[in-house]
Amino acid sequence: MIAAYLLLLLPLSGIVFFAVLGHHPRVGRINIKFNAFALLMSLWLAIDVFQSGSIISPGQLFLIDSFNVYLIVLTAFVGLTTSIFSAPYMRHEQENGKLSNKRLKLYYSMYQGFMFAMYLVLTTNNMGILWVAMEAATLATVLLVSLYRTPESIEAAWKYFILCGVGIAQALFGTVLLYYAAIQIGDTENALNWTVLYENASQLNPEILEIAFVFMLIGYGTKIGLVPLHNWLPDAHSEGPTPMSAVLSGLLLNDALYAVVRNKMLVDGATQTHIAGHLMMGFGLLSFLVAAIFLHKQQDIKRLFSYSSIEHMGLMTFAFGIGTPFATFAALLHMMVHSLTKSAIFVTVGHAAQIAGTQRIEHIRGLIKTQPAVGWGLLIGTLAIAGFPPFGVFTSEFLVLLATMHSYPWLTPLLLLGIGLACAGLFRNIQPMVYGKQPEGQQLVPANLWPVIIHLVIVLWLGLSIPQSLAEWFNQATILISGSAPL
């Protein structure tokens, strides 16, 4: 449990530390150290949970079980690798005069603020605090989206703020209804604790919980980027600094989905029907297909990959919605490989945009000739995210397909169509950027591509063979969520 407290205290102190000293030239490295320490803590926590099962803190404020501990490790890992990428990237931006010292302080301070909010979302046992932390994550990132202060970035940040704020207010109404259902059966102070709710789920009023879930799905779904509530996502991802796009895509979306899945577990327990799952399947499939179509008409490289994020989040929501152990296992795996691949892609995209001096797809050409490492990174990352074997995304998408064929065979063609559309949409844009003829005026940038290499190697490894211990871990989480083991 100490590990969990340290995990939360560390970024909290980081907020203050960087707010004061964030302009220091070596600050990027200090940020890496903060995140490396957080990763160590999360691994410690993971080993604890692996050996002795779920941990509940005294006072029931925090809950660590096999589902969230895996996301905590993933969050800490992506947080660390993104900070490794962000150090030279932000220095480059500063040297180009895009950022003042004050904004650099804001950036590093809020980076830690965002990490804190993410860890709080994952570790808390209280559904109310979960909401508070989710909103805090928006608040921490909204000023980072407008960090460059261009009219576009301010517009994107405003849209993000208003849409996510209003959206997530619906989730608070859902939480109020959940609390209302909960105090009918027991004590009031602990009634919002997930452990208490889960134990007594069968006694909760199913009709109230159904309404509550609709509100939760709309609320947290806005943050997941489910169509038709996705409008903020491409803007926020494309206008902010690239490290922010990487963590937003890789972490924030996952955590919002985590909130929905936690609520689904409660609703399923209360209603004993599959209504929550059907809602998730519908929204997920719609997002998946619409985003795959939108991939074709993008002109901005970051927007392109934001739509790819919507597509993959849709697929995960769909898979969690199916709800069979097999589908849940696939969704968990997909969450992990998508986070790793997408944050790796955003790292290379950031460098590509710095090389070309623009984010417009039509002006980025011939990356492999200018800076081969960046070009290859982008190409291999795109291969991985499009679901080519032998990468992990292929494995998880294949598992989702199998699970769909098993439970809802008539939906399989739609999934295949979406995967095909997305693949075509990505490659028609990526191919000329990577190969193409290199235009005048491209310049080499200092790039640290270790995060990309590490992420893609892990994704490749997961595609070739999932290590026994990790599979066991996923198994435990699947049993927790869906009630039985997939393997």
Partner 1 sequence: MELLEQDFYTQAILSLAALVGLTSFLMLGQGRLLRLIFVFAIQGLLLTLATALAGYSMNNTHLYISAAITLLLKVILIPWMLEKQVFKLNLHRDVEALNNKTAVMLGGASLVVFSYYVLHPVIQDTPLVLLNALAVGLSVVLLGMLLMISHRHAIAHVVGFMSIENGLFFAAIVSTRGMPMIVELGIAFDVLVAAILFGIFFLHISRSIDSLDVDQMNRLNEVDQ
Integer-rounded Cα Rg, in Å, for the chain is 21
Q: Which is nearer to partner 1, 163 or 445 (CB)?
A: 163
Helix (H, G, I), strand (E, B) or coil at 34: helix
Question: Residue 211 interacts with partner 1 (CB under 8 A)?
Answer: yes
Which of 352, 346, 149 is CA-nearest to residue 239? 149
Question: Residue 208 interacts with partner 1 (CB under 8 A)?
Answer: yes
Contacting range for partner 1; rule: CB under 8 A; set: 206-214, 249-257, 269-277, 352-360: 206-214
Q: Which is nearer to partner 1, 137 or 449 (CB)?
A: 137
Question: Residue 142 interacts with partner 1 (CB under 8 A)?
Answer: yes
Asked if 257 and 203 count as a contact pair (C-beta separation under 8 A), the reply is no
CA gap 401, 327 in Å, rounded: 9
CA gap 13, 118 in Å, rounded: 15
Question: Residue 1 interacts with partner 1 (CB under 8 A)?
Answer: no
Which of 472, 428, 444, 429 is CA-nearest to residue 92? 444
Site string for partner 1, 296-315 (x = CB under 8 A): -x-x----------------
Question: Residue 239 interacts with partner 1 (CB under 8 A)?
Answer: yes
Site string for partner 1, 79-98 (x = CB under 8 A): --------------------
Question: Residue 149 interacts with partner 1 (CB under 8 A)?
Answer: yes
Question: Residue 123 interacts with partner 1 (CB under 8 A)?
Answer: no
Question: Residue 19 interacts with partner 1 (CB under 8 A)?
Answer: no
Identify the residue among 93, 135, 255, 268 touching partner 1 (CB under 8 A). Answer: 135
Please provide the DSSP assignment of 192-217 as one string.
TBHHHHHHTGGGS-HHHHHHHHHHHH
Size of the site for partner 1 (CB under 8 A): 51
Smallest separation, CB 142 to partner 1 (Å): 6
Question: Residue 353 interacts with partner 1 (CB under 8 A)?
Answer: no
Q: Which is nearer to partner 1, 191 or 449 (CB)?
A: 191
Q: Which residues have a Cβ under 8 Å from the Cβ of 228 and sit 6 or more positions away?
A: 286
Question: Residue 380 interacts with partner 1 (CB under 8 A)?
Answer: no
Q: Which is nearer to partner 1, 228 or 467 (CB)?
A: 228
Contacting range for partner 1; rule: CB under 8 A; set: 21-29, 50-58, 207-215, 406-414: 207-215
Please provide the DSSP assignment of 392-454 as one string.
HHHHHHHHHHHHHHHH-GGGHHHHHHHHHHHHHHHHHHHHHHHSSPPPTT--------HHHHH
Q: Which is nearer to partner 1, 172 or 411 (CB)?
A: 172
C-alpha distance from residue 316 to each of 447, 461, 470 (Å): 32, 21, 19
CA gap 57, 182 in Å, rounded: 21
| Beta-sheet strands, E only, within 295-377 | none
* Cβ-based neighbour number of residue 63 at 10 Å: 21
Site string for partner 1, 157-196 (x = CB under 8 A): xxx-xx--xx--xx-xx-xxx-xx--x----xxxxx----
Chain positions contacting partner 1, by CB under 8 A: 126, 128-129, 131-133, 135-136, 139, 142-143, 146, 149-152, 154-159, 161-162, 165-166, 169-170, 172-173, 175-177, 179-180, 183, 188-192, 205, 207-208, 210-211, 235, 239, 294, 297, 299
